Structure 1
Amino acid sequence: MLLELIITIKGELMVELQEIQFTSLVLSSSLLPISFNLSHFNFHRIMAESLVSGVLGQLASITTDLTMKELRLVKDVDESISSLRRKLKDIQAVLEDAERKQLDDARIRRWLDELTDISYDIDDVLDEWSSETLKSEIQKRVEAEENGHQQKAADKKKKKVCLPLTSSCFSVNQLKRVGVRRDIAHRIKRLNETLEEIAKDKQHYSLETTKVVQKQTRETISFVDESQVYGLDGPKNALIEKLLNESSEGLSGGGKSVPVIIPIVGMGGIGKTTLAQLAFNDAEIKRHFSERMWACVSDPFDEIKVAKAIIESLKGSHQNLETLEALFRLIRVSIEGKKFFLVLDDVWSDDRDKWEKFIQLLRLGAVGSRVLVTTRKVEVATMMGAAAEMITLQLLSDEYCWSIFSGLAFRGRNSEECKQLERVGRQIASKCKGLPLVAKSLGSLMCSKVTENEWEDVLSSRFWELKDEQTKTFAPFFLSYYDLSPRVRRCFSYCSLFPKDYNFDPAELIELWMSQGYLSGSQNPEEEGKKCFQSLTMRSFFQDFRIDFDQTIIGCKMHDILNDFAQFLTRNECSSMRVEVDMEKTEPPSVEKIRHSWLALAPNFPKIPTSIFDQSSLRSLFIQCTSDTSLVGENMVLFHQNFRYLKHLRTLALISSKITKVPEQIGQLIHLRYLNLFQSRNLQELADEVCDLCNLQSLRIEGCSRLQRLPEGMGKLVNLRHLYMRGCKELVGLPKGIGGLTQLRTLDTMFIPKKNEAAYFLSLGDLKSLNHLRFQRYIFEITKCCNLINRSESELTYWECLVYLILNFGEADKKEEIRDEEDEFGILEALQPHPSLRGLLITEYKGTSLYPKWMMGLDKLTGLHITHCKQCESLPPLGSLLPSLKELRIDGLDKVKKIGDEFLGLGVEQAEAVSFPKLERLGFHNMRDWEDWEGTAHTSLQSGVMPCLQVLVIENCGNLKSLPPFLKLTPLHTLCINACGVLLQSLLNSEEEFTKFSHIPCIIIDGQEVT
């Protein structure tokens, strides 16, 4: 028996690592069958086709891996896998018919349910198999490195079993691993038997074999252009009139002004938020109100979330404040005595007690302040005492719906095609029932339809005949949803896990899809994820896009109705809940098998429901800690004790938690692909067991400001593709092993260690070996640049894909205030980026010159920030150096006293030259000693200075005397001057000086608009 076991081990270790990794990737594609109730039917599994296809792909890969040499690996395992494959192929042939007939046959729905569950189980078992193989290979590599890649006859630290027949030695750990393999093989056999029964049952349902025909689709643009808005001109004009009318201001009993509250009421998808956005961004509104704020409220009402949203609109940051009292103090300072405009979007709660504290706070604003509320409930308007001011949105006319629909459906078609499709198109548009969101959804769907027959198929779809009111509401979205590929459907359905008004980062969303295996089988899953995201944006499943400089989407949201639709689809597998203090005895959710869960812990330290740890099938767990909520005390004990029950997790996120250390039990989560510890500010170290997560693809530890070290074994994370660490201020360096992670695509921060520690950490030159690194859409920060020793390895020109770069020269030792200026400039010179760089920030640089030679080669740079460079006495000739610059911010250059021609880069010989030809936004902040800002000495050149300037901000520059005359020749529309006493006196006391800038439409001085 022992000899047989040794031979088994030997065969096991011969499996090729790359093939097994591919098997693991293909395997995990079988996830997330969708659940929903359609017309009173429990329509459980609509994703069986893609689910089975994914499992078949991995089984085919594993069958290929089981060559003749591995037949002795574990007895009969090859036969079991081949049997699984045959049965699933037989089932796959009838799945399309089964999914159609389940509408009317509860037995087929149950059958698909069973098929789904066993597919999940197959996924788990085979993932364990490949993980064990991968661990074995990693262990071999680690041992080889420790032994200098030389075989040793004995290892003093381990017991060995040596047999002459094999002339090889195997450790006890390897023997244990074979035991695990044998256990997995037995489980595969049992699954095979269960699948046998399921395969037999299909014979009872008269299912027909169908052949899937590839659909013909039209080429379409990447996302929907939402610039055109129909049917809101009248409501917009009425709303703006109400917002600007100050003829009837009310007072509270204490004599304080009461801000007028204006509710916009209407059903979901009718355009309430769109109307509020039109008013919020109106030029006249911007000029009229000193402060504008926007907060999405949603349901449930979270006071702290709303307060933080208000502050972010005002200040840009809530300064990590944790309590409602502290947040209210900051809001009070910002709005007291000022005329403000606040939008509270998507309000559901009509509980007066919850809103009273906000209303009291808002009474501190000046007369003329306004609060705009969007809601589906008339009761909200009544509760706020604003029924008289209410604007009720009506359904759009058929003609307006047709305008929205046709504008999207006819994109890219010629006039003849449009004429041919108009008849059936108008009939489809009439199904919109006056809702612009539905018109947009259907128009986006029809844009991809090629023939008139396809349009007729949509018009005659059975979804229009649904009787159940809830499902009837979703009929148009079902049409768009079913028109997606199974892979894209899974990706959309996963979005149901996130709360309403969630800000999606497409890159992060793609990583989450990867972690669940939705993008498996692709050589480049990130690119495949971009295609899935693009498909969803083309079908209007996302909105409120934030666009980068190259028209790439960097953020978006999902409309409430579509969020409801996604939750409706997945309600048998997804659970989202807000945990209050009084919910310690929370009952298990009424869901059969939770696969994905989101817990939002309310303030005052609510207890994590223990029922969540009973869900052994859980594959995603997000715990969102808010305010003073934390994973400490009893919660932390619960978390440590129950970690082992989460063994099937692929995705784990602990957001803003206060854990001090990741539990050691995390090493048991062998399926884990995604780990997010964002802003866990008390976290001091990652457990070494994190390095046992051989399948981990994404590790996010941004904002873990007290994290002191990363495990030395990081090199064992052979599948790691994305590593985010910005804001980890206490990290001294990165482990050497990271340099060997050949799969790594994203690295957002490089820490330069001190000279005496450099041998123990990764150097900047080591990153050259990571040739798969990609920086699109990400900021790459090199921190503690002042520690740089080997300048010959520091050049960054080989990173052509680098888009944004931060050079942080922060103190190597905070006690060392003095640094060699020449050495500092030498380091800056050495850090030469590729000329394609688009954004650059230089901070805490201690040299006197900010003019490295490479700066003149940054022809594509659009954004430059120079901050806290306190020894710098002058600015480089940026006006002539950077022809593409659109935004420039200078902050905290204490020794700069004068800015003149050298900054503009112009001379008398340059009669036709233009300084800052594309600059749109310019800001000077915290310039303590700055006194003079001179224009060009040559009057003839003034018209060629900053010809595109739109916004100028000067803040906390207390000694600045005046502004340069060339500004009056720029198209400047916004001038903000804050805390600039000398300049303010000059402008106010000299009429001649002020008239130079009186043509500027919007002048704001110390927060107040000058009229």
Structure 2
Amino acid sequence: MSLSAVGVVGAVNECVTLFQWAKSAIPSLYSRWSGSQEQILQDHVLQLESGLQRLRDTLPAIYDLVNKAEWRSHEPVVAKLLPNLKDAVAEAEDLLDEFGWYEKKVQVEGNASQSSFIDFFHTVVQGSFNKLNDVQLRLNHLSNMGLRGVTRCFDKLVRPETTSLPNETKIFGRDKELKQLLGFLNVPTISKRKRATKTSSINASASNHVSNESRALDLPVLPIVGIGGVGKTTLAQHICSHQQVKSHFELIIWICVSDDFDVKRLTKEVIQSCTGNEATSDNLDSLQRALSNHVNNKRLLIVLDDTWDDALKENGQCWKRFCAPFRSALDGSTMLVTTRCPNVSQGVRTMEPIIVEGLKDDIFWNFFKLCAFGSEGSNSDPELEHIGKCILPKLKGSPLAAKTLGRMLSMDLQASHWNSIRESELWELKQEETDILPALRLSYMYLPFYLKQCFAFCAVYPKDYKFDKTLLVEIWAAEGLVDPQGGIPIQDIGYQYFEDLVTRSFFQKISSRYVIHDLLHDMAQMVSKQDCCILRNKSDLDKVPQNVRHLYVLPSSEFDDSSLLRLCKYTKLRTIICKKDLKKKAGFVMSKWCTKLPRMRVISCVSTDELPDNIGNWKHLQYIEIVKARPLKKIPSTFCWLYHLQILYAKNCRLESLPDGFSKLISLGKFESVGLGSCRRSRPEE
């Protein structure tokens, strides 16, 4: 899917202009039709216009429905319906996009020739665009199949409630973090270090405090931050169970926040934790006064586990309201907040957060053996251990990933079973709701819908791909994933999307480029498995979903022109990023794609010495890139029919001339090539 609610309204408004033109054009063609035929055409135009308005009213609600339905995609019925719903939405988007192409054609050609009128009436009014009603009916049918009334909240099956009692008797590889936490909490060591006084408490944390301006409250707040499944909760549980911690704090309160940061609910849970009795009042003032009395002059440790973005709602006032009663606690009290959201950490912290990352190699191997064999010291089967060590790099030190794969492996201690898991992608393996990828998927679910679409699209790129921010944002825009916002340049809006994903740790900066953590990449492939596909070798061609829309072709020696021509059967493709250099065959293959893949929006190929004559078939095309240096001998005149084209990169290709009519490319904003300096239309780099 691409067009947002804002984009849909804009696209429909453009098409309304198109229909006004069509209605006024019919009388000028009176000589070609009888009066009754003219009336029939006028009726058809009115019906199309009415249908388009209905689509305008329907689609924004359908986008919202898709977003809500993803929260229940762990349910079999919804999981089956959701791809069909997304496919129907994409059909509607393609329909709107093609109407938009005709709108731009009218802008370019105007009344210059009756041929444009004839083409419109034959192709649109009397031709394939009569499927508008079919698209509308399909959307209506799917939206009424049990998906209404879905709310955005975590199912307890997906996110079970946590407690302060550790699930694991032993914690692996967290000595450094435990020592840091004990230090920040001013917990006396076994050597009976002098208990912290008010002065020593302040001094001990002074070097770790941020400025008073960013402090949310008087109670020190220490976030524990990391991606899902890395062990934040386990670390907090072991702190709560630590003997010195239990001796140091008069009260230890554990609250599982999850995605519902309701101040009244949380206050009641804290009171119940303090007293053992359920709070019955529904008056927040009474509840908070009671809580203030319960914690008055007590040194307490409060843990808020699994805290999400809604803790910061109401511009942070909700968080401050919850924390207000704890000001009466004894100095030395502390709050730990576990979260996978860096913006939550930034919004609530008074101390620098503890970042929890994957376990280191040797420690992780011992933990993995415990998960797979039931014992750290299992050396009973060297072959299985060898396979296990080959699997280990996939898991990136994640304890939950080790538990997930360890459980799968332990079910069958045969080398064939272990090898099948070794050869599979993590996202292809069936997982329980509390396993690693469903756990990471919660981070995705909490994204705004527009960011979900942008991140899910990144699944088309292989692991360890180094993203250039500018190029990725340009492709997002070409795919229709960036919402127009008044007069703000679309690229600037895309940059903000990208930075929002960086802030949420979906991208990590490496030098001047960005990468996606391998486990997050697996999660992206899981949520977009019907839409995005990576071809590594010929056998992957048999795994491509029929409705795939985005493809990345790695430069495998197995690929030749005949194997890439097999892509022609995936007629809904919008994106091909082909890293296989087909040399002299490239133009031939592209010509076939132009005929069979009419919905292409983004094409990136290694090289070609010509663009095919039928490239004008790609009415949706918005981005074309030719990577390697090679003379581009031919740009056909039909290239000038690409009225949607935004970007043409032929940076290393020397062009000798441009076709007549190149100025008709009214959407072209960036054109880069060698030579033809006076013809370049690229904007300055931002």
Secondary structure of 1:621's partner?
strand
Partner of 2:435: 472
| Residues 1:697 and 2:667 are matched in the alignment | no
**Partner Cα distance (1:653, 1:459) in 2:** 35
Task: Write the letter of the residue equivalent to 2:141.
Answer: E
| Residues 1:563 and 2:521 are matched in the alignment | yes
Measured after TM superposition, the shift of residue 694 of structure 1 is 0.6
Partner of 1:591: 545
Task: Write the letter of the residue equivalent to 2:135.
Answer: L
User: Greater CA deviation, 71-80 or 685-694?
Assistant: 71-80
Partner of 2:359: none
Native 8 Å contact 2:530 2:548 kept in 1? yes
**Partner Cα distance (1:669, 1:536) in 2:** 31
2:120 to 160, 177, 190: 177
Structure-2 change in CA distance of 1:525 and 1:427 (3 Å): closer
Native 8 Å contact 1:678 1:703 kept in 2? yes
Partner of 1:487: 450
| Residues 1:507 and 2:507 are matched in the alignment | no
Measured after TM superposition, the shift of residue 415 of structure 1 is 4.7
1:399 to 178, 190, 204: 178
| Residues 1:419 and 2:377 are matched in the alignment | no
Q: 1:782-793 alignment to 2 at 5 Å?
A: none
Instruction: For residues 892-951 of structure 1, give each alpha carbon's deviation from its aligned partner in whole angstroms, at most 9, with x where no partner exists.
Output: xxxxxxxxxxxxxxxxxxxxxxxxxxxxxxxxxxxxxxxxxxxxxxxxxxxxxxxxxxxx
Partner of 2:81: 111
Q: 1:249-398 alignment to 2 at 5 Å?
A: 394=173, 397-398=176-177
| Residues 1:685 and 2:634 are matched in the alignment | yes
**Partner Cα distance (1:526, 1:423) in 2:** 34
Instruction: For residues 356-407 of structure 1, give each alpha carbon's deviation from its aligned partner in whole angstroms, at most 9, with x where no partner exists.
Output: xxxxxxxxxxxxxxxxxxxxxxxxxxxxxxxxxxxxx95665437869x999
**Partner Cα distance (2:147, 2:661) in 1:** 56
Residues matched between the structures, number: 453
2:47 to 58, 76, 98: 76
Partner of 1:572: 530
**Partner Cα distance (1:571, 1:668) in 2:** 28
Partner of 1:127: 97
Measured after TM superposition, the shift of residue 559 of structure 1 is 2.8
Partner of 1:948: none
Task: Write the letter of the residue equivalent to 2:609.
Answer: T
Measured after TM superposition, the shift of residue 431 of structure 1 is 2.5
Native 8 Å contact 1:640 1:665 kept in 2? yes
**Partner Cα distance (1:58, 1:410) in 2:** 51
Partner of 1:631: 583
Task: Write the letter of the residue equivalent to 1:534.
Answer: E
Partner of 1:140: 110
Measured after TM superposition, the shift of residue 680 of structure 1 is 4.0
**Partner Cα distance (1:641, 1:443) in 2:** 52
Native 8 Å contact 1:397 1:434 kept in 2? no
Instruction: For residues 471-500 of structure 1, give each alpha carbon's deviation from its aligned partner in whole angstroms, at most 9, with x where no partner exists.
Output: 722456434323321111211222222222
Instruction: For residues 121-147 of structure 1, give each alpha carbon's deviation from its aligned partner in whole angstroms, at most 9, with x where no partner exists.
Output: 111111111211211221238x5xxxx
Measured after TM superposition, the shift of residue 652 of structure 1 is 0.2
Native 8 Å contact 2:223 2:338 kept in 1? no
Structure-2 change in CA distance of 1:490 and 1:514 (3 Å): same
| Residues 1:646 and 2:597 are matched in the alignment | yes
Structure-2 change in CA distance of 1:482 and 1:97 (3 Å): closer
Partner of 2:658: 710
Partner of 2:685: 775
Partner of 2:133: 189
Partner of 2:232: 431
Measured after TM superposition, the shift of residue 518 of structure 1 is 0.6
Measured after TM superposition, the shift of residue 527 of structure 1 is 0.8
**Partner Cα distance (2:227, 2:47) in 1:** 60
**Partner Cα distance (1:483, 1:477) in 2:** 11
1:676 to 625, 644, 668: 625
Task: Write the letter of the residue equivalent to 1:108.
Answer: V
**Partner Cα distance (1:108, 1:506) in 2:** 34
Native 8 Å contact 1:697 1:719 kept in 2? yes
Secondary structure of 2:45's partner?
coil
Native 8 Å contact 1:614 1:645 kept in 2? yes
Native 8 Å contact 1:500 1:563 kept in 2? yes
Secondary structure of 1:108's partner?
helix
| Residues 1:533 and 2:477 are matched in the alignment | no
Task: Write the letter of the residue equivalent to 1:107.
Answer: V
Measured after TM superposition, the shift of residue 509 of structure 1 is 0.8
Task: Write the letter of the residue equivalent to 2:671.
Answer: L
Instruction: For residues 410-459 of structure 1, give each alpha carbon's deviation from its aligned partner in whole angstroms, at most 9, with x where no partner exists.
Output: 97774554836448989999536689xxxxxx999799674557998969
Structure 2 spans left out of the alignment, 5+ residues: 25-41, 154-171, 186-204, 237-305, 324-335, 342-399, 408-430
1:610 to 565, 569, 574: 565
Measured after TM superposition, the shift of residue 64 of structure 1 is 8.0
**Partner Cα distance (1:427, 1:668) in 2:** 44
Q: When you count strand as a share of all residues, which structure comes out higher?
A: 1
**Partner Cα distance (2:604, 2:453) in 1:** 20
Native 8 Å contact 1:94 1:210 kept in 2? no
| Residues 1:622 and 2:603 are matched in the alignment | no
Instruction: For residues 55-80 of structure 1, give each alpha carbon's deviation from its aligned partner in whole angstroms, at most 9, with x where no partner exists.
Output: 46644665687669959471411221
Native 8 Å contact 1:691 1:713 kept in 2? yes
Native 8 Å contact 1:654 1:676 kept in 2? yes
**Partner Cα distance (1:109, 1:121) in 2:** 19
What TM-score, normalized by structure 1, do the two folds share?
0.40
Measured after TM superposition, the shift of residue 684 of structure 1 is 2.6
Task: Write the letter of the residue equivalent to 1:208.
Answer: G
Native 8 Å contact 2:18 2:102 kept in 1? no
Secondary structure of 1:503's partner?
coil
Native 8 Å contact 2:546 2:570 kept in 1? no
Measured after TM superposition, the shift of residue 723 of structure 1 is 1.8
What TM-score, normalized by structure 2, do the two folds share?
0.57
Instruction: For residues 779-802 of structure 1, give each alpha carbon's deviation from its aligned partner in whole angstroms, at most 9, with x where no partner exists.
Output: xxxxxxxxxxxxxxxxxxxxxxxx
Measured after TM superposition, the shift of residue 722 of structure 1 is 1.5
Measured after TM superposition, the shift of residue 525 of structure 1 is 0.8
Measured after TM superposition, the shift of residue 503 of structure 1 is 2.2
Task: Write the letter of the residue equivalent to 2:123.
Answer: V
User: Greater CA deviation, 672-681 or 474-483?
Assistant: 474-483
Identity %: 20
Measured after TM superposition, the shift of residue 101 of structure 1 is 3.9
Structure-2 change in CA distance of 1:471 and 1:636 (3 Å): farther
Task: Write the letter of the residue equivalent to 1:689.
Answer: T
Native 8 Å contact 2:232 2:338 kept in 1? no
Measured after TM superposition, the shift of residue 102 of structure 1 is 4.0
**Partner Cα distance (1:516, 1:532) in 2:** 14
Secondary structure of 1:609's partner?
helix
Structure-2 change in CA distance of 1:137 and 1:482 (3 Å): same
**Partner Cα distance (2:657, 2:179) in 1:** 60
Task: Write the letter of the residue equivalent to 2:560.
Answer: P
Task: Write the letter of the residue equivalent to 1:174.
Answer: F
Task: Write the letter of the residue equivalent to 2:142.
Answer: I
Secondary structure of 1:588's partner?
helix
Native 8 Å contact 1:576 1:599 kept in 2? yes
Task: Write the letter of the residue equivalent to 2:556.
Answer: A
Native 8 Å contact 1:492 1:566 kept in 2? yes
Task: Write the letter of the residue equivalent to 1:533.
Answer: F
Secondary structure of 1:519's partner?
coil
Task: Write the letter of the residue equivalent to 1:598.
Answer: Y
Structure 1 spans left out of the alignment, 5+ residues: 1-29, 32-49, 144-169, 213-392, 436-441, 547-553, 739-743, 748-772, 777-1011
**Partner Cα distance (1:606, 1:67) in 2:** 48
Native 8 Å contact 1:401 1:432 kept in 2? no
**Partner Cα distance (2:122, 2:226) in 1:** 66
**Partner Cα distance (2:631, 2:235) in 1:** 51
**Partner Cα distance (1:703, 1:206) in 2:** 50
Instruction: For residues 689-727 of structure 1, give each alpha carbon's deviation from its aligned partner in whole angstroms, at most 9, with x where no partner exists.
Output: 2221110001111111x43223342211110112222xx
Higher relative contact order (CA closer than 8 Å, sequence separation 6+): 2
**Partner Cα distance (1:598, 1:402) in 2:** 45
